[in-house]
Structure 1
Amino acid sequence: MSYKNYPMVSRVVFGRGCFNQLADIISPKRLNTRAPFIFLVDDVFKGDAWLNSRIPLAYDDQLIYISAKEEPKTSQVDELVEQIILTHKDRPSGIIGIGGGTLLDLAKAVAIMLTNEGESRDYQGWDLVKNPAIYHVGVPTISGTGAEVSRTTVLTGPEKKLGINSDYTPFDQVILDPELTKDVPKEQWFYTGMDCYIHCIESLNGTYLNAFSQSYGEKAYELCKEIFLDNDLSEEESQDKLMMASWHGGMSIAYSQVGVAHAMSYGLSFLLGTKHGIGNCIVFDHLEEFYPEGVALFKKMKKKFDIKLPQGLCADLDEQQFDTMIDVAISLEPLWENALGKNWKQTITREKLRALYEKM
């Protein structure tokens, strides 16, 4: 049997205010004065002097604001790569993504596509990337997705929603500064935090589970329970712990896989553009059959923070639209196999998925 030889983020700095070290960290990586650093920044920070004044722009460095209102698309990656190539004569020294999962995934994908020819849709899948990416740094400003630590960059392409899963995807450097998460709105904080919680439930209940993924998954699960069910955490403690839960949750699926909620939420996202965190919550709310304890606890957390999930998303869909969602969900075979074992096709039929989607 051969085991996965898994790449990890080679450098990470953690601590309140460590974002201020960004200049010191990246300056030795500058190839020359004409090879810029490209900063991809969530446009919620446009006009935010507290953050922007600390972005260490020099020489020909470029700052590009990107909206995270929609999930990242392959076409968006290709446009960014083209824009960077046309603007700068020299290949960039590095890509720095500052934002949530969307921005981190875009930064990883752009870093890969600057050294690999063709379109990003050609690399959606497992181990299709041939050349190492350029130097890339992830700076999460919201916690939960695990995008800062994973070897995938999830993209919606013309035919499917699927990650570029490769050994060249993980960041070379991650900056974990919990202070950057201080202004996240409550709903957003909850949905993205639940992405982490659902990672843990799917990993810990999966058939792919081993001691490596279990040790990370259990830690993230305990942290999530503290953050979302305890009453005595200060805001700062909660920010610090959620940032670490996100890291551990991302690591827990490194050696295992996610499951039913992620597979079905990819379907929602592909067809309806539902954002990943909220999509996971909408799906997970109906998965008692697969994750009874996890869903019961989720409902408790939802009640505690008075979160009202959108209803009736699939109420007005036609046959073709249901088929599209089911096609996307059912194509994610490793997720189903992790959730239900090798014979998952006996349980998961198109009719079964249709009935579940109809509840949402």
Structure 2
Amino acid sequence: MSFKNYPMVSRVIFGRGSFNQLSDVLQPKRLNTKAPFVYFVDDVFKGNAWLTSRIPLSYDDEICYISADEEPKTSQVDELVEQIILKYKEKPSGIIGIGGGTILDLAKAVSIMLTNPGEAKDYQGWDLVVNPAIYHVGIPTISGTGAEVSRTTVLTGPDKKLGINSDHTPFDQVILDPELTKDVPKAQWFFTGMDCYIHCVESLTGTYLNAFSQSYGEKAFELCKEIFLEDGLSENDSQDKLMMASWHGGMSIAYSQVGVAHAMSYGLSYLLGTKHGIGNCIVFNQLEEFYPDGVALFKTMMKKHDIQLPQGICKDLTDTELNIMIDVSIGLEPLWENALGKNWKKTITRQKLYNLYKKM
């Protein structure tokens, strides 16, 4: 049998204030004075000098502010790539993503598409990327998605929501500075943190589980319980631990796979544009049948933090719309196989998914 030979992020800095080392990290990577570093920055930081004044710009370097209000799209990747190609005489020295999962995924996707022909939608799937990406750096400003460590970049394309899963996707460098997460609104903190928690539940109960993914998943799971259930954690401790939980949760699924909640939330996201973290929570809330213990604990966490989930987002959808979501969801075969084994199609019928979506 052959074993997965997965790449990891080759360099990582962790620590409060480590963002200040960005200039030292990038300097040796500059190809020449005409090859800029392009920064993709979440537009919530526009006008936030505390963060933006520390971005080390020189020569033709540029900050490109990007809204994270919508999930990243293949068309958006293609537009960004075209802008960069038209604007600069040379390929950039690197792409640096500063933000949450949306911005990090865009940074990964653009760095791949700058060296590979065609459109981003051509690479949605597993191991379709041929040429190495240009140098790319991830700096998360919210914790939970695991985008900083994963080998996928989740994109909504013209006919599916699916990542560019490849050995060339992971960042070359990540800077984990928990201080950058200090202004995240509470609901967003919870929903994105639950993305990490759900990664752990799906990985630890899946058929792809092995000692490697289990060791990371168990650590992330314990950290999530500490952060979301225990009292007395200082804000700094909570930020540090959630950043570590996100990293470990991402590592756990890198060597296994996610499951039912992710498969179904991709459907919500594709049709309704539901943000990934909140979509996972809406779905997971209805999955007692698959993850009884995980869902019970999730409900306890929601109650403790006084979180209300949107209700009835699917109740007025037509059968045509529900079938679109079912198509997107059921197409994610590795996720279903991890959750339920090779015979998953005996359990997961279109009617079953229809009934579950109707509850949301």
SS at match of 2:31: coil
Q: Give me the whole-angstrom Cα distance separating, in 2, the residues matched to 1:52 and 1:256.
A: 36
CA deviation after TM superposition for structure 1 residue 315, in Å = 1.0
Determine the structure 1 residue equivalent to 2:131: 131
Determine the structure 2 residue equivalent to 1:282: 282
SS at match of 1:253: helix
CA deviation after TM superposition for structure 1 residue 236, in Å = 0.3
SS at match of 2:254: coil
CA deviation after TM superposition for structure 1 residue 100, in Å = 0.1
SS at match of 1:184: coil
1:172-228 deviation digits (Å, cap 9, x = unpaired)? 000000000000000000000000000000000000000000000000000000000
Determine the structure 2 residue equivalent to 1:83: 83
1:60-119 deviation digits (Å, cap 9, x = unpaired)? 001100000000000000000000011100110000000000000000000000000100
| Amino acid in the other structure paired with 1:248 | H
1:35 aligns to 2:22 (yes or no): no
Q: Give me the whole-angstrom Cα distance separating, in 1, the residues matched to 2:255 and 2:113.
A: 25
Determine the structure 2 residue equivalent to 1:309: 309
Determine the structure 2 residue equivalent to 1:294: 294
Q: Give me the whole-angstrom Cα distance separating, in 2, the residues matched to 1:151 and 1:204.
A: 19
Determine the structure 2 residue equivalent to 1:144: 144
1:256 aligns to 2:236 (yes or no): no
Q: Give me the whole-angstrom Cα distance separating, in 1, the residues matched to 2:267 and 2:43.
A: 26
Determine the structure 2 residue equivalent to 1:59: 59
1:34-80 deviation digits (Å, cap 9, x = unpaired)? 00000000000000000000000100001100000000000000000
| Amino acid in the other structure paired with 2:254 | A
CA deviation after TM superposition for structure 1 residue 232, in Å = 1.2
Q: Give me the whole-angstrom Cα distance separating, in 2, the residues matched to 1:184 and 1:85.
A: 33
TM-score of the pair, normalised by structure 1: 1.00
Determine the structure 2 residue equivalent to 1:72: 72
Q: Give me the whole-angstrom Cα distance separating, in 1, the residues matched to 2:227 and 2:202.
A: 19
1:227-253 deviation digits (Å, cap 9, x = unpaired)? 000001000000000000000000000
Q: Give me the whole-angstrom Cα distance separating, in 1, the residues matched to 2:152 and 2:177.
A: 22
CA deviation after TM superposition for structure 1 residue 335, in Å = 0.3
CA deviation after TM superposition for structure 1 residue 254, in Å = 1.0
Q: Give me the whole-angstrom Cα distance separating, in 2, the residues matched to 1:92 and 1:126.
A: 26
CA deviation after TM superposition for structure 1 residue 319, in Å = 1.0
Q: Give me the whole-angstrom Cα distance separating, in 2, the residues matched to 1:254 and 1:102.
A: 18
1:255-293 deviation digits (Å, cap 9, x = unpaired)? 100000000000000000000000000000000000000
Q: Give me the whole-angstrom Cα distance separating, in 2, the residues matched to 1:86 and 1:62.
A: 14
Determine the structure 1 residue equivalent to 2:238: 238
CA deviation after TM superposition for structure 1 residue 22, in Å = 0.1
Determine the structure 1 residue equivalent to 2:168: 168
Pairing 1:196-275 to 2, within 5 Å after superposition: 196-275=196-275
Q: Which runs of 4+ in 1 moved over 6 A?
A: none
| Amino acid in the other structure paired with 2:168 | Y
Determine the structure 1 residue equivalent to 2:15: 15
- RMSD of aligned residue pairs (Cα, Å): 0.3
